[in-house]
Amino acid sequence: MAQQVALVTGGSRGIGRAIAHTFCKAGYAIVIASPELDKNEEVAGEIRALGGECLTVDFNVASPESVKAGVDAAIAKFGRIDVLVNNAGITRDALSMRMKADDWHKVIAVNLTGTFFTSQAVIPHMMKQRYGRIVSIASVVGEAGNPGQANYVASKAGIIGLTKCLAQELASRNITVNAVAPGFIDTDMTAVLTPEQKAKMMAKVPLNRLGQPQDIANAVKFLASDDASYITGQVIRVNGGMYM
């Protein structure tokens, strides 16, 4: 079998970067897909230093044209995409009564619509191969809710629903579709929280520590592996017991 290829959206930092490194170490060629061009190249340099092969693409998940161009570039370079990791995500937090319409639309566009557009672009190639793994990054709040994050919570809950729908549509073509729902992970997104906010959050985590990006990357790699070939339509919670 030809070398497998993993495309990671939002692969330029945080959880996406850890996922890209993890797949590289497992022998995959990597496509880093994000609009952060300098950071894309930084991660690509790290992957090449590990002896891996990497393509970077300027990738705006909210634009179907940008997504198609990026996926086409990946196919032109590697001839296949075996794993899609829908990791790109943003937050624009505010209480619902004060949330600006633009902040609602932006978060839904990137987190949920972007997951759909990217999956939609990759699916025909996976169907032709009669093989594929789609893993989307949801969130603990997509199941549990969180005040001040109506847009983000709705987008992540939507990813869970989309995952179940695609799993049913694609199972006959040997394509599995699953989600990983992180809890409180040590990333740029959580670094902006105040000590008080962090303490309040940590009180909800039975394991009493932050998760690391690698914890999420390990779960994603498992779902993409042959060991998980009979798992589809599932949400794997990686949250230290924060939500059960």
Q: pLDDT tens-digit profile of 175-212?
A: 999 999 999 999 887 888 888 988 888 999 999 999 99
Rounded distance between C-alpha atoms, residue 94 and residue 79, angstroms: 43
Q: Show which residues are catalytic.
A: 152
Give the tokens for residue 209.
Answer: 């520590």
Q: Is the pLDDT score of 90 beyond 90?
A: yes
Helices (H) and strands (E) in the chain, counts: 10, 7
Residue spans of beta strands (DSSP E) within 41-171: 54-57, 83-86, 132-137
Give the pLDDT band of residue 16 (cuts 50, 70, 90).
very high
| Domains of the chain and CATH, by start | 5-238 (3.40.50.720)
- In angstroms, the Cα distances linking 120 to 52, 67, 117, 138 are 27, 10, 5, 18
State yes or no: pLDDT of 64 exceeds 90: yes
